[in-house]
Amino acid sequence: MKKNYGSIYTLPMAFWVTLFFLVPVLIVFLYSFLERGEHGGVVWIFSLNAYRDMLSPTFIHILGITLFISLLSTALTLLIALPCGYYMARSRRKSLYLFLIIIPFLTNFLIRIYAWQAILGNSGFLNNLLMRLGLIDNYIQFLYNEWAVIIVLVYSYLPYAILPLYSTIEKFDFSLLEAARDLGASHPASILRVMIPNIRSGIISAVLFTFIPTFGAYAVPKLVGGGRNSFMLGNLIADEILVNRNWPFASATSILITLVTTAAMGLYVFANKSAARAAQRKRI
């Protein structure tokens, strides 16, 4: 009988992800059902306090804000990314445009956030410009609210939405649009009824690539948000871990985010099931 080299090859990886990913996530799950320790950590007593805390008005407000910001950012990103992906896919200068989309992301993530601080800050570029043009007398507070967070989130995740859309639109057979026009559809109708259904997988990827990180956003709201309406679940977790030292509550919130994320992913897998099955059939 031949040895199964598949399990030998995957052993190091299986070991690593089990120990350093699965076990930590399971610990978090476990901690969420325990009593909080006095100075951080946990006391080994079963408790649902962490989940009960989720019913507080404050938590519900933060959850609502998080959903509002992440859903709106996702929708805006998609609305911008769709025409961009379409234009790039139809253009003759595809690789140039791809390169241009990626360039801004060769700088560090934090430096990109910082650039927005420098633009939107009270003594920032935009306020300076507006004052110099005489449009305003005193600075406007652009930063530290939900709108600043949304702008920077859209900015941060736009390429992650454009790239999958671009690649599915690029594979789309544009003669189908001509066929639709030939059969009497208007240009918008042909796009809506023929192209959109055919690039569904790209749209779903774009939505997920934007929604998942924005729902769990931490650094962006920390740096350009922070007000009552721009404090998100990610910030709550960090505060509970580092400041309030309520580890079970931080754990429970993490579990909530994990569940929402995996549910979104599950929907994605479900939506792609038929396609995946077809692909698998091809491999056999």
Considering only residues 166-225, where is the footprint of another protein by CB under 8 A? 178, 187, 208, 212-213, 215-219, 223
CA angle 140, 231, 125 (to 5 degrees): 30
Q: Which structure tokens are listed for 278?
A: 């077809």
Which string of x and - marks every residue 26-65 that binds another protein (by CB under 8 A)? -xx--x---------x------------------------
- Interface pick for another protein out of 45, 60, 118, 267 (rule CB under 8 A): 118
Q: Which structure tokens are listed for 263?
A: 């549910």
- Shortest distance, position 199 Cβ to another protein, whole Å: 14
Residue number, 10 or 141, with CB nearest to another protein: 10
Scored b (16 or more CB within 10 A) or e, 200-236 reads eebbbbbbbbbbbbbbbbeebbbbbbbeebbbbbbbb
Residue 225: C-alpha distances to residues 73, 82, 138, 205, 232 (Å): 14, 27, 21, 27, 9
Asked whether 195 and 172 are in contact (CB, 8 A), the reply is yes
- Shortest distance, position 19 Cβ to another protein, whole Å: 9
Asked whether 194 and 176 are in contact (CB, 8 A), the reply is yes
Give the H or E element holding residue 42: strand 42-46
- Interface pick for another protein out of 265, 267, 271, 275 (rule CB under 8 A): 265
Which string of x and - marks every residue 121-150 that binds another protein (by CB under 8 A)? x-xxx-xx---x------------------
Residue number, 57 or 282, with CB nearest to another protein: 282
Which residues, including other chains, have CB under 8 Å from residue 256's CB and lie 6 or more apart? 54, 233
- Interface pick for another protein out of 59, 68, 114, 147 (rule CB under 8 A): 114
Residue 243 phi, psi dihedral angles, 5° rounding: -105, -60
- Shortest distance, position 171 Cβ to another protein, whole Å: 15
- Interface pick for another protein out of 158, 163, 165, 203 (rule CB under 8 A): 158
CA–CA separation, 283 and 232 (whole Å)? 44
Residue number, 57 or 190, with CB nearest to another protein: 190
Q: Which structure tokens are listed for 92?
A: 């003759």
- Residue list 230-259, contact with another protein (CB under 8 A): 234, 237-238, 241, 247, 250-251, 254, 257-258
The answer to whether residue 22 forms part of the interface with another protein (CB under 8 A) is: yes
